[in-house]
Structure 1
């Protein structure tokens, strides 16, 4: 009998020990260490101290990740979120769709995970999660964050109209929301008006065609501007205009850029060019097109520059050395407002690590580095 009890105690101890070891292993597996690449000489006096790069990660694979390019040390830090926030066992989440810095906080919109991750902009330490169903993009004004959200389930054609959610950046609480069009995308603020592009992307035979205009003083929808089908990007220049892109229908209606005068809320001109993404710096809009065709089953790629003051497409391009031939799918773009260097990402095949390229103002590649899967969205950190 004593022998049985002794054996039982021994078995329980071994079971406890095994569980402890397995538990420790699980914890070890949860903390994925960041990878560091010594990329450049340290530049501690540079105005652009660094930037965050959000990698979307493929849908349903929970592979969204966060990189940081630190110019003060010259080190590229890959996949930093897990090491900084080891308690978050699911990592950053599923499909990170946008990022922005406002004040001391970094905001990452995680689309399929239905949340906005709020972190300390200096350390990357998680502060709080804000729950929003199917969020897409974020912008800021006067202590408020504004988030566009599809609502409804992903890909469902009869999904409800989307909304813009107003969040207080101090309390990090949702204050209000207002209905806009179907599947709202990017937003831009000019004065006290917020412009949001509605895509209607869940119903390809019945795309939305409108830019919704919200008065931020009253947080009311004041009008919808008819533009074109399947709208996506919205960027504001310093002259009171916004540049809105239409993705077309991937068949016989091609991508275009429309210019809206925010004083009159009327379309003043348009450009018959493909623009999947753009960034406006001073008087120049840098854009690339990766227009998909259902006819050919291929992307048509292009790169260009547009003078927003003169509203004229320029002859030169921001890549001049042939590097564009190496880029499979341009997916993100940013500009250093001081040096005028252009940063472009390559999404590759969407399921493997991408590449980040840096180009001089003359269009020559200065350096490149491997990123996470589908590198897409930048948040610049200036002094």
Structure 2
């Protein structure tokens, strides 16, 4: 695959693997895992969001543009310019859609979520949140959720307490903000299949109903003196999978838990497991 398979999506019965440092997206056959096409000459692609058979958006690191691609022809067809962003500070990440609008969190050295009109391919609004929103998901009630990591001590962009934000998609306003502790590093915000329960990593694994008024005081899974690096929830049965990078050098481990938090299974995978994709 090349250098850093960042994310994977499934569309049109193909697997789309976004490989950022190699500037490429591979399309593979989901049965044979053979390559069927590729989109090349991307800057540092992070995620792909499909709008139709002939149009998708690809977010980038180190670029102030979101690329527009034609998945059917495997071609770059255009760009979305992100305002107030340079190539050096450029960072667009995960995308969710509400009606004709796509929302995207701007992560590295950024503090905002942008709103894109998919008919004009232009950024039409933006919402300021905390420093470095790392994830973006949309629940069953059309509320967007993002977690900010707060930057790091000594960062030229700033360092602050991380937060969890609940944002109304219709009005594009913050409904609620929960603050963590300074020095916390929350990440990997995920939803279950019903999209009514959140999960995230902050040393421990945490879980919270999307209708809750406060964050939980006890974790879903307690920290095990290791490096939880990836997280997902089986959309069918609610089982929780945790990826453990261990020391970033040896094979990683996946732990599978019941919805109640009981360990069901564990198995080795490759080095630094960071993301999951459900077929």
Q: TM-score range by the shorter chain?
A: 0.7 to 0.9
Partner of 1:59: none
Mapped to 2, the partners of 1:129 and 1:355 lie a distance apart of 30
Instruction: Describe how 1:320-339 pairs up with structure 2 within 5 A.
Output: 324-325=223-224, 328-339=226-237
CA contact (8 A) 2:146 2:189 kept: no
Indicate yes or no: 2:135 matched with 1:233: yes
Mapped to 2, the partners of 1:330 and 1:140 lie a distance apart of 29
Mapped to 1, the partners of 2:49 and 2:245 lie a distance apart of 24
Mapped to 1, the partners of 2:213 and 2:121 lie a distance apart of 31
Indicate yes or no: 2:254 matched with 1:369: no
Deviates more, 1:260-269 or 1:186-195: 186-195
- TM-score between both structures, scaled by the size of structure 1: 0.64
CA contact (8 A) 1:317 1:363 kept: no
Partner of 2:106: 198
CA contact (8 A) 1:231 1:244 kept: yes
Q: Which is bigger in relative contact order (C-alpha 8 A, separation at least 6)?
A: 1
CA contact (8 A) 1:96 1:108 kept: yes
Select the structure of larger CA radius of gyration.
Answer: 1
Write the deviation string for residues 349-373 of structure 1: whole angstroms up to 9, x where unpaired: 1122110110011101111111101
Partner of 2:44: 134
The unaligned stretches of length 5 or more in structure 1 are 1-91, 152-160, 202-206, 290-300
Mapped to 1, the partners of 2:97 and 2:170 lie a distance apart of 13
Mapped to 2, the partners of 1:270 and 1:175 lie a distance apart of 38
Instruction: Describe how 1:1-383 pairs up with structure 2 within 5 A.
Output: 92-131=1-40, 132-143=42-53, 144-151=55-62, 161-180=63-82, 181=85, 182-199=90-107, 201=108, 207-251=109-153, 253-273=160-180, 274-281=185-192, 282=194, 283-289=196-202, 301-314=203-216, 317-319=219-221, 324-325=223-224, 328-381=226-279
- TM-score between both structures, scaled by the size of structure 2: 0.87
Partner of 1:43: none
Higher helix share: 1
> Alignment RMSD, CA only?
1.8
